[in-house]
Each structure stands twice: as C-alpha cells, then as structure tokens.
Amino acid sequence: MKRRQFVKAGAALAAAASLPRFSFAQVKGGDRIKVGLIGCGGRGTGALKNMIEADQNVQVVALADLFPEKLDWAANDVRGFCQERYSAQADDIIKPDTVKKFGGWDCVDQLLAEDVDVVIEATPPPFRTPHYEKIVKAGKHAFLEKPACIDVTQAKKMLELADEAKKKGLCVVCGTQRRYHPYYQELIKRIQDGELGEILSQQCYWNMGGYIGQWVNFPDLDPESIEYQIRAWWCFIWASGDHIVEQHVHNIDVCMWALGDNRFPVEVRGMGGRSTDLPWPRFGDRFSHFAIDYDMGNGLRMSSYCQQDPGVNDEVGERMVGTKGMCYSTLGGKGALWISDLKGKRLWESQDIPVSELVLEHKYLLDAIRNGENVNTLKTLVNSTLVAIAGRMSTFTGKKFKYDWVLARSKEDLMPKNLDFAAKNPTHVPVPGKEQLV
Ligand SMILES: NC(=O)c1ccc[n+]([C@@H]2O[C@H](COP(=O)([O-])OP(=O)(O)OC[C@H]3O[C@@H](n4cnc5c(N)ncnc54)[C@H](O)[C@@H]3O)[C@@H](O)[C@H]2O)c1
C-alpha cells in the first residue's frame, strides 16, 4: 500500500507527553491500524466487521465488555468472519488467543491502556458519554455508535468533548449511517441545491411491528436492579433514552441534515404513550409510541412519529415537501429514495449501491486517519440526539416549550448514581400532564 501522509495529531502530540499511561493514536498512512472494541454485542461486533470490510489493514488488539462472557463469543465471531472473507489475512487481523479481552467495570480503562489507535464504542447509550470522555483523554480516534447520549447533562458534556477531540486532532465518526449512503448524499445535495424549492414540511418515521426487548427474560434478576436494567437496556428510559432517542434519531438526523445542520426547532410539543400489553416493570418504563410536532420556524414543521408495538405496520423513512417538489427516503437500493414533482411525477430515484453504508462510514474514518485529516461528526449527532431528547421530554410531561430552554435551563440527568449490579433503581412509567419538566 502507498505510504501516505503521517498523521499529525497536532497539539495532541504535545499533550500526549502528559498521558503516560496511554499511547497516543499516531498512524502512518500505510500502517496497520490497531483497533479496540468497547461493547461486544450485536452492533459492536457488526461494526468491527464493517470496519474490517472497509480496510483489511487493521489489527484487532483488544475487546472490552462489562459482561466477560461476551468476549470469547465476539472474538470467535469476528475471527470466523475474517476466515470466511479474508482467509489469507485473518491471522493479521485477529487471533482470538492473543487478542486482549477485558471484562467488568474497568474494562474500558484497561482497553485504553493498550496500544490501540482507534476505538469502536458500541455499548448501550448511557455509557457513550463517560466512555468517550476516557477515549478523548487517552488520545484515541473513535467510531461512536448512535445515539450520542441519553439526556441533557450528557449532551452538554458531549458538545465539550467534540471540541476537545478537535483540539487534540482526534477523528470521531458516528453511526448515523445514512450520511454515508451515496444516494442519501445525492438526495440531500439535490434538496440543498433547491430541487424541492423551499421546504414547507418534513415527516419522519420509525414505526415497527415489534418491540425491541420483547424477548427479555431474566427470571433470576430483579427488574429494579441495575444489572437487569443494563441487560434489558432497550426497555428502560435511562438505559436507552427510549426508542425515540435510541432508534428514531436516525430519521430526525436526516431531517436536520437536509436543513443544513444549522436550523433547530423553535418550539416542541410531543405526545405519546405505552401499550397496556407491556407488563411493568419486566418490560421497563419506556413508551411504545411518540408523535412530535417540531416548529422549525418560518412556517416549517417537522413531524416525527415512532412506534414499537407487535403487529403494527412498519415504516422507517423520511418525507419532505417543498414549493416545487417532494421526496421520500428510506435505506435501500433502487427506488428507495426519490424526488417527484408536486403531481407525483418521478424526477429522480436511487439505484442499488455496491457497498453498504455501514462499511462506508468506517472507510470514511480510516481514510481520514491515514490521510491525517481531522474529521469530527460528533456535534451533528449530539444535535440530532438532543432534538429527539426534547421530543421525549415534551411527550413525557405533555408540556410545550421553546427548544432554546433545553440547553439553557434543563437540568435533566437520567444516569443512576449507583451502578452496582445489585443496587435498586425503581422506575415508573411517565404520565403526561403529571411528569415534571426538569
Ligand atoms: N447504527 C445502527 O444502525 C445501530 C444498530 C443497532 C444498534 N446500534 C446502537 O449500538 C449500541 C449497542 O447496541 P447493540 O444492539 O449492539 O446492543 P447489545 O446489547 O447487543 O450490545 C451492547 C454490548 O455492550 C455491553 N455493555 C453494556 N454496558 C457496558 C459498559 N458499561 N461497558 C462495556 N460494555 C458494556 C453489553 O454487555 C453488550 O455486549 C446502541 O447504542 C444502539 O443504539 C446502532
């Protein structure tokens, strides 16, 4: 491979001297990039495989997971993938016997003390912020899964960390994969070039006929315990952000992107509820549906809908209507994204893509690291996450509020103070009209 520019981490290199425990991420263009994975579940191992697919000149150095039983499974899963897809390079990419494996609450500190250049962080949402704080301190590049955070307190911290990473010359790319899909990119460019005219309305959807977490079954654990809530994280507001934040952030993010990532709601009013079919507390305290009316100013409304209920119709996508035309977008190939005139005549549509957006997002990150570019997409993810958080806050309380209030005044902090596995963390399902806005 052609030797490319040495990655200058700028001020970071000087700062590295004050971090004796950590080896600061420094990659020369053609070097084998050393990777660590935090969170060895479905998406973490998936993201690691996507990264390997993007660039086989990587070495998996270390794996970390709160629950040690995940570690061997993850190592073998990724190894099996490499043997099947890249048999000649499999030994260079990952050797399950030599890859370092760390479990327990200090697994992240241990992983960061290893010689890794880039870290994939794919734990449940409440841990992203404290982990990213450690990752930045250790001077590592990062791929962060979405959402950025669970509440306003964490969002503020993540905005600070985005600036700190930039100052240190650390790349950070986030798991909003639509941003790396070539036809999403083309659609957004066409919108921003004015093909729809002035945008008058946006609708976005993550409605699915199943309840993530409906398989949850830990009969030996108390649903009020921290261990249960982390293992069944999709079901709990603090552990997931609820599905408006955890999943629907993808669609809100597309709407924000189409508007140039610099236009925010003026006012927020949401409503929603929870199916009576979900026994509490086994299935947590979360809602099953949200509908939010975001007043985006100048007459534009963004309507956001998300639902998870067994048996309901699925729809995941975005729709926008402008003065000259309209568009629809959903992840997929030919015809999944399109633009039409206001009478419905198709003017443009997507084609099949040869490489998945889940691979392209890692290619973007690794190419930037090799080329010494300082890419940093964290603020856009924090902003989209915060818009989803505001929708959730309005839904739970039934209150309409100015969006500016969220960062200026809200004290929302959902993280339990005691994370001992056996600690009790009683939850309740919010009742709109009674729940307080904080
Ligand atoms: N971009 C996407 O399309 C996409 C798809 C799925 C999931 N995700 C996101 O990825 C993240 C993980 O989701 P998943 O489906 O892989 O969940 P998962 O439960 O399968 O995996 C999470 C892993 O993190 C571990 N973990 C939990 N707390 C930890 C801690 N404090 N420290 C270290 N490890 C910890 C768990 O043991 C588990 O192995 C979530 O934020 C989710 O929203 C993104």
Over residues 412-433, the mean pLDDT reads 98
Which of 431, 40, 433, 427 lies closest to 235, judged by CA?
A: 427
For residue 311, report the distance from its CA to the centre of ligand 1, in Å: 25
Residue 132: the pLDDT is: 99
Q: Which of 277-281, 335-339, 399-403 has the lowest mean pLDDT?
A: 277-281
pLDDT of residue 18: 39
pLDDT tens-digit map of 343-376: 999 999 999 999 999 999 999 999 999 999 999 9
Nearest ligand 1 atom to alpha carbon 123: 24
Tell which one of 38, 40, 43, 173 to mutate to probe ligand 1, the residue whose CB is within 8 A of the most ligand atoms: 43
* 15-24 confidence digits (pLDDT tens): 333 333 555 6
At residue 278, the pLDDT reads 87
Which atom in ligand 1 lies closest to the alpha carbon of residue 40?
39
100 with 74: CB under 8 angstroms? no
The residue whose C-alpha atom lies closest to atom 40 belonging to ligand 1 is 124
Residue 62 makes CB contacts below 8 A (sequence gap 6+) with 36, 37, 99, 100, 101, 102, 110, 111, 114, 116
In angstroms, rounded to a whole number, what is the distance separating the alpha carbons of residues 293 and 303?
5
Distance CA(165)–CA(351), nearest Å, equals 36
Q: Give the closest residue (by CA) to ligand 1 atom 32.
A: 66
Tens digit of each residue's pLDDT (9 = 90 or more) over 76-107: 999 999 999 999 999 999 998 899 999 999 99
pTM over 0.85: yes
| pLDDT above 50 for 14 | no
For the CA of 127, the closest atom of ligand 1 is 31
Pocket test for ligand 1, best of 77, 121, 145, 381 (most atoms within 8 A of CB): 145
Alpha carbon nearest to ligand 1 atom 11, residue: 122
Q: Checking phi first, is residue 253 left (phi over 0); if not, alpha (psi -120 to 50) or beta?
A: alpha
Whether the CB-CB separation of 263 and 296 falls below 8 Å is answered with yes
Pairwise CA distance, residues 42 & 215, whole Å: 15
Q: Which ligand 1 atom lies nearest to the CA of residue 46?
A: 16
CA of 408 to the centre of ligand 1 (A): 30
Pocket (CB within 6 angstroms of ligand 1): 38-44, 64-67, 70, 107, 122-125, 127, 145-146, 175, 177, 230, 246
Which of these, 104, 16, 85, lies nearest to 420 by C-alpha position? Answer: 104
Question: What is the pLDDT of the chain when averaged over all its residues?
Answer: 93
pLDDT of residue 23: 57
Nearest-CA residue for ligand 1 atom 6 is 43
Distance 347 CA to ligand 1 centre (A): 39
Ligand 1 centroid vs 212 CA: distance in angstroms?
13
Closest ligand 1 atom to 39 CA = 24
Residue minimizing CA distance to atom 20 of ligand 1: 41
**What DSSP assignment string belongs to 85-139?**
H-GGGHHHH--TTTSEEEESTTHHHHHHTSS-SEEEE-S-GGGHHHHHHHHHHHT
Residue span(s) of the chain under CATH 3.30.360.10 come to 185-355+384-409
Tell me if residue 140 falls in helix, strand or coil: coil
Contact 372, 7 (CB under 8 A): yes
| CA distances in angstroms from 210 to 206, 232, 311, listed in the order given | 11, 15, 7
CA 170 to ligand 1 center in whole angstroms: 23
Q: What is the pLDDT of residue 48?
A: 98
Our mutation pick for probing the ligand 1 site, out of 49, 101, 123, 233, counting the most ligand atoms within 8 A of Cβ, is 123
| Residue tagged 């729940």 (tokens) | 435
Q: Enumerate the CATH 3.40.50.720 domain ranges in the chain, comma separated.
A: 11-178+361-376
Q: Which CATH class is domain 11-178+361-376?
A: alpha beta
Kindly state the DSSP code that residue 301 receives in the 8-state scheme. Answer: E
Cα of 278 to ligand 1 centre, how many Å?
23
Please report the pLDDT score of residue 17 as a whole number.
37
What is the Å distance from ligand 1's center to 275 Cα? Answer: 25
Q: What CATH architecture does domain 185-355+384-409 belong to? A: 2-Layer Sandwich (3.30)
Range name among 95-99, 155-159, 192-196, 244-248 with the lowest pLDDT average = 95-99
Q: Which atom of ligand 1 is nearest to the CA of 233?
A: 19
Angle (CA) 212 247 320, round 5°: 130
* pLDDT band at residue 223 using 50, 70 and 90 as cut-offs: very high
**Closest C-alpha residue for ligand 1 atom 38:** 41
Query: Is the pLDDT reported for residue 9 higher than 70?
Result: no
Ligand 1 atom with least separation from CA of 44: 16
Identify the residue whose C-alpha is closest to ligand 1 atom 39: 41
List the strands of the sheet with 33-38, edge to edge.
100-103, 58-65, 33-38, 118-121, 141-144, 172-174
Mean pLDDT of 175-191: 98
CA dihedral sign of residues 38, 41, 47, 52: positive
336 — phi, psi (to 5°)?
-70, -25
Please tell me the predicted confidence (pLDDT) of residue 211.
84
